[in-house]
A and B are shown apart, each in its own frame.
Chain A
Amino acid sequence: MTILSIIIHKFKSVTRTKELYTYIIGFPLVFMIIYGSFTGFAYSKVEPIKIGFLNNDVPVKYTIGEKTYQTIFGEKFYNYLSCLKYEGTNTSVFNIVNISSREEAEQKTGKLEVAAVVEAPSNFSKNVINALKSITYLTLVGIISNEANNAYELGNYELASRYWAALTELSSFSNLTYKIKITIISDPTYSKATQTYELTWKYLINFVFREANEFTTYYANYLSQKYNITININSESFSSAMEQTFQVEFERIGGKEGLKESFTKMYFAVLVPGQIVQSIMLAAVSVLYMLHRELTSGLIERIKLTKVSSTEYISGIVLSWGIIALFQAIIMLAAAIILGYIKVVGSVLDYLLSVTILVMAGILTASFSIIIASLTKKEIANHIVLMILITVSLMIAGYFPIQNPVLGNLFGREFTVMDLIPWRSAITGLRKSLMLADIYSPIDVLPDLLLLTIWTAIYTAISFIVFSAKILRKAATY
């Protein structure tokens, strides 16, 4: 009850202190509007994204009837990406350079010579051919079965038996497992890297779709000739097979206006989460303001005389700021949606994850502020913290391309230099759960959430220790 009471009253206090609105809502909204206008202007002109292509793929052999074919789908994918043009223009989507090794890829992305490097793994062709066979099976099995049944019902047993024979040969394509994987080597805080990431995903599906279409048609013709049967593939049966296989929604980029809109959306996939987290970070100034007021007005001294424990009081503060962070985020999100910067794509689980991340970021901010307030009671601390947080938030929010060397791997995700700034995992998590929920599944967000939780736990623990020792400590002796 005590913690709840602290949370409620702190929340009321903050919402009634109008001068804090500048930091909590004002600055971030101004940032968003200015940057949004700038971005709309900047992306009115399309230009190729310079990327690298690292082809580790090895040729794959496959047999249709008596003929054996050999192909490298990695090369085909490279050519496919190279030929892509923005619709209605002669501008290429990608300007691709060949990359010979992983080291070169990391070097070039590190120096931002390329936005990202697309790496086709050694089993790319093997998986693609399995995918093509599987899609072909899923597309044709229903069609041929129906034709066989129809022939049987009409009493044309000989035709039916030829369909059944074709079906038997087709069954060699069933139960094939595959996972088509492309690795994007890039700095995710660099906006063009995220564009490359999303585009590559879409074009990979387009590529497999195109290849599957070609392969299925070729195989259907082969079966038709061999067994003297008719196979009519309609687009409906084909696309339903694709959905069953990939279950990834994608939108085609169509028309210049559409392209611009899509680019802006992608850009904000990077920027909006950064701005939301930035607004939560800037709230640290408000936390400090409130704490400073309590410290200088004697409220803390009075609180010391009550029954409340340090744990209860600090928990009340950090949780109330967690809730305030949630409200900030809702306002920022609403603004971003109204301004047309984002499209709502996530599931309920994605939103729950986003909410958790934002509340966690709020708690982290409050803990950080409590540490600062405990170490220095001087008002100048507010200004210093504001300057530090603005700089740090600009670094991690994705406004500018900044080198971000990888330090190692943590929870299955790369741990970079930027990850040493605790709020960054909130940004990368939000990108996945809020903005790119059509690409990432909720499970992909967990490593970011876990890292954020660890940072929050560390900072909260420190805030408990220093605030208890420096501020809420009662006189040692009477």
Chain B
Amino acid sequence: MQVVLSVKKVTKVYENNMRALNNVSFDVYKGEIFSLLGPNGAGKTTLIKIITGQLEPTSGEIRILGVSGEDLLKSDVRLKLSYVPQENIIWPHLTVEENLRLIGSLYKIDKNTLKNIIRDLLEKFELLEARRRLAVKLSGGMKRKLSIAMALINDPEILVLDEPTAGLDPRARASMLASLEKLKELGKTILLTTHIVEETERLADRVAIINRGEIVAIDTPANLKSKSCGREVLEILFREVDEATWRKLASIVDEKNIARAGDKLIIKEDNLPATIEKIRSDKLLYDKILALSIRKSSLEDAFLFLTGQFLGGG
């Protein structure tokens, strides 16, 4: 598989000595959706800014389509990468069509080609009817679609999306995910950051779990789940997880197989029904349980077992 984006040992230490990224490395392959999954403050946006050339790394290297360093600045390769940040990057007092036309002219696309591209993007992102509306008057979802359409105006090979569904209502979010799936079908390479596991599970071919500036694991969503917590997990919601409760539970289940998120405990075991029976038979534990269920494992669970932290995403 062709590597289109390579991040090599990137470290970023800010002036206040805050280490935002520590020795981050991964490759993104052509045509895949690669997701950076991590909680807020994990270093995702810093990494995106370094990849898009807005921020200089303290050390390390970014290679886009095999080009890096000074050569990247000089060559047109950087134009093969487009970026959509968390905020909607649009000119609010221009219409949808004018926004696309202006960004197209900044990419120096000739007038006739640009006309066709705009038409195509308006259709693809269901913005045709709204093309003469001022961007400021669009809904949040439409603004985000316009922002992504603008990023696609020069037909980039790599699209970098920072939290593409942030701030969208459920309907707009669903529509956005559908649009991204369309892009995937068109063979675009997409690097996206998110803290929402459902999005990653639905869209991503591979996921890099990032926490406190470090990559914890990289794999497909299915592999990450199966390797870190198996296909199914036991989720127990306790009234309260005190010292005694925890000690009792640890006598039944290996501590390594328990992850805690407040009063909710996630347990991974080969034989979950047997584990449930053991817990039920303990009166102390049984009396404190509010809810108990066996369910399919998620990336959230994987994240919890890999980092010991709750991701806290939708």
Contacts of B81 in A (CB 8 A): 305
Please give the distance in Å from A118's CB to the nearest CB on chain B: 54
The CA-CA distance from A478 to B61 in the complex, in Å, is 6
Please give the distance in Å from B284's CB to the nearest CB on chain A: 54
Contacts of A63 in B (CB 8 A): none
Is B68's CB within 8 Å of the partner chain A? yes
Contact of B105 among A2, A16, A305 (CB under 8 A): A2
**A478–B53 touching, CB < 8 Å:** yes
**B105–A301 touching, CB < 8 Å:** no
Contacts of B78 in A (CB 8 A): 305
Is A6's CB within 8 Å of the partner chain B? yes
Contact of A2 among B68, B87, B106, B134 (CB under 8 A): B106
Is A298's CB within 8 Å of the partner chain B? yes
Contacts of A298 in B (CB 8 A): 85, 87, 89
Of the listed stretches A80-88, A428-436, A469-477, chain B binds A469-477
Is A390's CB within 8 Å of the partner chain B? no
For window 61-92 of B, CB contacts with A under 8 Å fall at 61-64, 68-70, 72-73, 76, 78-79, 81-83, 85, 87-92
For window 298-325 of A, CB contacts with B under 8 Å fall at 298-299, 301-308, 313
The CA-CA distance from A5 to B105 in the complex, in Å, is 7
The CA-CA distance from A16 to B132 in the complex, in Å, is 14
State whether A306 and B56 are in contact (beta carbons under 8 Å apart), knowing that A9-B91, A301-B83 are contacts in the complex.
no
Is B52's CB within 8 Å of the partner chain A? yes
**B150–A478 touching, CB < 8 Å:** no
State whether A474 and B53 are in contact (beta carbons under 8 Å apart), knowing that A5-B102, A302-B83, A305-B81 are contacts in the complex.
yes
Contacts of A477 in B (CB 8 A): 56-57, 69-70
The CA-CA distance from A90 to B72 in the complex, in Å, is 83
Is B155's CB within 8 Å of the partner chain A? no
State whether A307 and B107 are in contact (beta carbons under 8 Å apart), knowing that A5-B101, A474-B73, A478-B72 are contacts in the complex.
yes
Is B216's CB within 8 Å of the partner chain A? no
Is A34's CB within 8 Å of the partner chain B? no
Q: Mark A449-478, 1 if CB is under 8 A from B, else 0.
A: 000000000000000000000000011111
State whether A2 and B83 are in contact (beta carbons under 8 Å apart), knowing that A478-B61, A478-B68 are contacts in the complex.
no
Contacts of B91 in A (CB 8 A): 9, 13, 299
Please give the distance in Å from B126's CB to the nearest CB on chain A: 22
The CA-CA distance from A477 to B59 in the complex, in Å, is 10
Is B253's CB within 8 Å of the partner chain A? no
Best-surrounded residue of B53, B70, B88, B106 (most CB of chain A within 10 A): B106
State whether A13 and B93 are in contact (beta carbons under 8 Å apart), knowing that A5-B105, A302-B103 are contacts in the complex.
yes
Contact of B79 among A1, A307, A475 (CB under 8 A): A307
Contact of A6 among B63, B70, B102, B150 (CB under 8 A): B102
**Majority SS of interface residues in chain A?**
helix
Is A175's CB within 8 Å of the partner chain B? no
**B98–A9 touching, CB < 8 Å:** yes
**B79–A476 touching, CB < 8 Å:** no
Q: Mark B121-142, 1 if CB is under 8 A from A, else 0.
A: 0000000000000100000000
The CA-CA distance from A475 to B55 in the complex, in Å, is 6
The CA-CA distance from A288 to B272 in the complex, in Å, is 63
State whether A478 and B69 are in contact (beta carbons under 8 Å apart), knowing that A297-B89, A302-B150 are contacts in the complex.
yes
Contacts of A301 in B (CB 8 A): 52, 54, 83, 85, 89
Q: Mark A1-38, 1 if CB is under 8 A from B, else 0.
A: 11001100100111011000000000000000000000
Contacts of B102 in A (CB 8 A): 5-6, 9
Contacts of A313 in B (CB 8 A): 106
Best-surrounded residue of A1, A12, A297, A477 (most CB of chain B within 10 A): A477
Is B24's CB within 8 Å of the partner chain A? no
Contacts of A293 in B (CB 8 A): 92
Q: Mark A271-315, 1 if CB is under 8 A from B, else 0.
A: 000000000000000000000010001110111111110000100
**A305–B52 touching, CB < 8 Å:** yes
The CA-CA distance from A306 to B109 in the complex, in Å, is 11
Is B111's CB within 8 Å of the partner chain A? yes
Contacts of B111 in A (CB 8 A): 1
Contacts of A476 in B (CB 8 A): 56, 73
Is B108's CB within 8 Å of the partner chain A? yes
State whether A13 and B106 are in contact (beta carbons under 8 Å apart), knowing that A297-B89, A305-B79 are contacts in the complex.
no
For window 188-209 of B, CB contacts with A under 8 Å fall at none
Contact of B106 among A297, A307, A478 (CB under 8 A): A307
For window 330-383 of A, CB contacts with B under 8 Å fall at none
Is B222's CB within 8 Å of the partner chain A? no
Best-surrounded residue of A297, A305, A313 (most CB of chain B within 10 A): A305
The CA-CA distance from A12 to B150 in the complex, in Å, is 18
In the complex, residue of chain A having the shortest beta-carbon distance to the beta carbon of B95: A12
**A475–B56 touching, CB < 8 Å:** yes
**B98–A12 touching, CB < 8 Å:** yes
Is B183's CB within 8 Å of the partner chain A? no
The CA-CA distance from A308 to B98 in the complex, in Å, is 17
Please give the distance in Å from A309's CB to the nearest CB on chain B: 10
Contacts of B103 in A (CB 8 A): 302, 306
In the complex, residue of chain A having the shortest beta-carbon distance to the beta carbon of B63: A478
Contacts of B94 in A (CB 8 A): 9, 12-13, 16
**A304–B93 touching, CB < 8 Å:** no
Please give the distance in Å from B144's CB to the nearest CB on chain A: 13
The CA-CA distance from A353 to B132 in the complex, in Å, is 38
State whether A297 and B87 are in contact (beta carbons under 8 Å apart), knowing that A6-B102, A474-B73, A478-B68 are contacts in the complex.
yes
Please give the distance in Å from B166's CB to the nearest CB on chain A: 13
Contacts of B68 in A (CB 8 A): 478
Contacts of A303 in B (CB 8 A): 106
**B54–A304 touching, CB < 8 Å:** yes
In the complex, residue of chain B having the shortest beta-carbon distance to the beta carbon of A478: B62
Can you list 13 A-B contacts (CB < 8 A)?
A: A2-B106, A2-B108, A9-B102, A12-B93, A13-B91, A302-B151, A305-B81, A306-B79, A306-B106, A308-B108, A474-B53, A475-B55, A478-B61
Residue numbers of A with Cβ under 8 A of B are: 1-2, 5-6, 9, 12-14, 16-17, 293, 297-299, 301-308, 313, 474-478
4 additional A-B pairs beyond A16-B93, A477-B56, beta carbons within 8 Å, are A1-B105, A2-B106, A298-B89, A299-B90
Q: Across chains A and B, which 6 residue pairs bring their CB atoms closest together, nearest first?
A: A5-B105, A306-B106, A16-B93, A478-B62, A308-B106, A9-B102
Residue numbers of B with Cβ under 8 A of A are: 50, 52-57, 61-64, 68-70, 72-73, 76, 78-79, 81-83, 85, 87-94, 98, 101-103, 105-108, 111, 134, 150-151, 154
